[in-house]
Structure 1
Amino acid sequence: MRLSTDYLNRHSEALMLLEMVPMDRAILVELRAWRAVSYSEHFEASSLRCAAEAREAYRQLGAREVAGFDELCAAMDRLVLTATALLDEMPDSEDPALIVDVACLSLRRLIARAAAFINANGQGDAANIDPGVVQAEVDALIAG
């Protein structure tokens, strides 16, 4: 049984939309419509042939791995939602580039961590996701 990176397409879509905001502020409409979903929820609603296997692989992970991965996913969700809220509140006369650049850099890093975890099927170093470190990175981004 294997985990599936298909779940990360949701976050990659949000990343793509964020990257487009400086060129077209109307993209914020699509970002506002973006919704966070858990790994399990994603595959419960999926019609992919591997959906059942991906759900079962997730269920077989250890509690520590699940907690770390879930916190990593929650951090990605918070990052997308926070960046969207900041951009939404920004006057049209201000340049969104700084918010977009910082948010996209952080989101790319988090997606890469999640991909490493999934590609390693939740095993080895990839499974050692420290939720405290992930949260500290998101907090630093929001505070910055």
Structure 2
Amino acid sequence: MADDDDPAFLAMQARVRGTNISPDTLLATDYLNHFNEIIMMLDMVPDMPDLVEDCAEWQPKSYPAHFADSTFRDKDLAIEAYDYCPARFREPFDATIAQMEDLALTTVSEMQTALAEGNTDSVTQTARLASRALQRLMDMASAIIHGAQTTMDQSEIDTILGH
């Protein structure tokens, strides 16, 4: 991580201009596509509960690993730039991503348990609530990528999930 006035940050800022990497944060929204996958599956679970098993195949992927596996045009630059993201963006971004990963994995576990118990109503409700919460967190992550400095605390997530 770098500071905004760090010469390395300023040099990286110049390198990312004209790419899909934010020159303000040195982060790219393409990473959020990884979370779009689980959100789309959760949105379909109420109509197709068998998709719970497909949801279980989704696993967290680090920012560098996502880009290493992607077809993103500037993927090598995105990986390199991540290390120069200023702490004031990187820390809330990483915290938001950790919340999303935890929520996705917990949701899948809860849905699997409910499905094994034959409680499809619980599966449906869990999928819908988690999808909404993940979308809100993804919106926050996107805002951070574009320069906002905000996070959602656990109590806000619990409220969305009805806990």
Question: Fold match, TM over 0.5?
Answer: yes
Describe the superposition over 1:99-143 as per-residue Cα deviations: whole angstroms up to 9, x where unpaired: 12211111110111111222x1xx3xx1x134xx43333345567
Q: Where does the alignment leave 5 or more consecutive residues of structure 2 unmatched?
A: 1-15, 22-26
Q: Is the 8 A contact 1:72 1:129 kept in 2?
A: no
Q: Where does the alignment leave 5 or more consecutive residues of structure 1 unmatched?
A: none
- Give the match for residue 33 of structure 1: 57
Give the TM-score, by structure 1 length: 0.83
- Give the match for residue 70 of structure 2: 46
Q: What code does the residue aligned with 2:100 have? A: M
- Give the match for residue 120 of structure 2: 94
Higher relative contact order (CA closer than 8 Å, sequence separation 6+): 1
Moved over 2 A (4+): 44-48, 91-94, 133-143
Superposed CA RMSD in Å reads 1.9
Q: What code does the residue aligned with 1:94 have? A: T
Q: How far 1:8 moved relative to its partner?
A: 0.7
Identity over aligned pairs, percent: 32
Q: In the alignment, is residue 137 of structure 1 matched against residue 156 of structure 2?
A: yes
Partners of 1:143 and 1:25 lie apart in 2 by 21
Give the TM-score, by structure 2 length: 0.74
Greater fraction helix = 1
Describe the superposition over 1:74-108 as per-residue Cα deviations: whole angstroms up to 9, x where unpaired: 11111111111111000224312221221111111
